[in-house]
Copies of this chain bind each other. A is one copy, B any other.
Amino acid sequence: MVTMSDVAREAGVSVMTVSHILNGRPRASEATRQRVLDVVAELGYEINLTARGLRSGRTNTVALIVPSFHDYFGEIADRLAVLLEASGLHLVLERTAGTAEHERDALSLARLKMYDGVLLSAHGISREELETVSAAVPLVLLGERRMPDDIDHVRLDNVEGARLATEHLIARGARRIALLGGAFETEPGMASSRREGWEIAHGEAGLTHDPRLITPVEDYSMDCARTAMRALLDSGQHVDGVFAITDVVAQGALSALGERGLRVPDDVQVVGFDDLEIDEFMTPGLTSVNPNHELLASTAVRLLTERIAGRSRAAVHEVIPVRLVERGSTR
């Protein structure tokens, strides 16, 4: 392995001069600079980032930690990577879920400290653990759970998104609107926020919402959503609209509706949440709430880079506005 001192010796300078030059510090003569760069190229020298990290205490790397790699975070991650690059930061993805016993491990402080900052979609983790992480490394939370007030946090305007979706269904004539993936729990989180929007829209329209139309879904997978939708249809409840708490859940609902021969939007209108790329390509297209990932990502990056820069300020809880995208699954 060729090290910096190999380069220094070959170029006839000291190690420090090489270091200065490679780090772009502007205090080397052009001649020395060129000679050093030539030797670097000739020897194929690559800086050892581990050594630099140990010495400087910085890795120029940020981690995005998500429950699983194959959910909707991919799209956000792509945006984050581009934005972070502008600040000279590199993004890597880590996951927490999978083997449950290792969840703690993936979030071990030791590993997190390898990063200059962490973007975390917190799910199973406790508030105490979050506090510990936050004390150890610049941290910005993404997600809907109730979060400690003293940690930066970016989340969607779930209540408004759900309200828009439900309002739209009502405006298009739906009166029996199932809330698929809804929850009865009151702990502020995605499910209860979206339920709140569903209730508000009913109230604003002078309608009463029927709690029997709140249909929990075990884990927001297509499979569980389809099972839940089947059960709802079998229960004999009249349903002429579905607000699905995510687009994935909406896919499950559409599958169940198709099985029963119910037409969308003629018999049942459907709205989802996430505005996945595929929504536009389905037949009919899926009306959905666009989560404004662009703004979500840029806000998260701004907060995190501020923290990394050591700017001391009160924690910020940003709420990202959303909008409805109308397609053929509603009239």
Contact = CB atoms under 8 A, between A and B. Distances in A.
14 contacts: A46-B108, A46-B110, A46-B113, A48-B110, A48-B113, A68-B74, A68-B78, A69-B93, A70-B75, A74-B74, A82-B99, A226-B281, A254-B283, A258-B283
B69 A251 contact: no
Contact of A78 (B98, B111, B282): B98
Given A98-B82, A251-B278, A90 B70 contact: no
Contacts of A295: none
Interface stretch (A50-58, A147-155, A156-164): A50-58
Contacts of A207: none
A92 interface: yes
B49 A110 contact: yes
Contacts of A74: 68-71, 74
A255 B49 CA distance: 48
Interface residues of A, number: 52
Interface in A38-67: 46-51, 53-54, 59, 63
A47 to B, nearest CB: 5
Given A54-B50, A255-B282, A258-B283, A222 B277 contact: yes
A130 interface: no
Contacts of A281: 222, 226, 251-252, 254-255
Nearest to A253: B281
Contacts of A93: 69, 92-94
Contacts of A109: 46
Interface in A69-103: 69-71, 73-75, 77-78, 81-82, 85, 90-95, 98-99, 102
A214 interface: no
Contacts of A113: 46, 48-50
Contacts of A102: 85
Contact of A278 (B85, B90, B222, B283): B222
Interface string A246-262: 00000110110010000
Interface in A214-235: 222, 226
B98 A81 contact: yes
A133 B278 CA distance: 36
A322 B282 CA distance: 27
Determine which residue in A50, A54, A71, A92 has the highest number of CB atoms from chain B within 10 A of its CB, and name it: A50
Determine which residue in A53, A74, A254 has the highest number of CB atoms from chain B within 10 A of its CB, and name it: A74
A141 interface: no
A54 to B, nearest CB: 5
A18 interface: no
A282 B226 CA distance: 11
A118 interface: no
B46 A50 contact: no
A114 interface: yes
